[in-house]
Amino acid sequence: MSKDKPTYKEHRVEREWCKGCGICVHFCPKNVLALDQEQKVMAARPEDCICCRLCEYRCPDLAIEVICED
C-alpha cells in the first residue's frame, strides 16, 4: 500500500507572535525558512518543504503552522 506524500500548501506565520529566535530556521532539515528584515520567520524556499512540521512543533512562540494536504 503506497502512501502519498503530503502536498505542501503554505507556512502560516503569526507575525505578532514570532520573536525571531531562529530555532525553526536553524533546524529546518531542508533549509526552507529564513528570518526577514523584521526578524520574523518566512518560507524563503517553500518548494523544498517536506511537511515534516518540525518548525511548527519546535516553535517556542507557537507562531508557525505548516499547511499541507494529505
Burial of 56 (0-12, 13-18, 19+ CB in 10 A): middle
Q: Of 34, 42, 58, 68, which one interacts with other proteins (CB under 8 A)?
A: 58
**Per-residue contact track with other proteins, 11 to 50, x per CB under 8 A?**
-x-x-xxxxxxxx--xx-----------------------
Q: Which of 68, 69, 10, 70 is nearest to 41 (CA)?
A: 10
- Of 16 and 38, the one with the shorter C-beta distance to other proteins is 16
CA 7 to chain centroid, in Å, comes to 14
59: contact with other proteins by CB under 8 A? yes
CB 31 within 8 A of CB 49: no
Residues that bind other proteins (CB under 8 A): 12, 14, 16-23, 26-27, 54, 57-63, 65
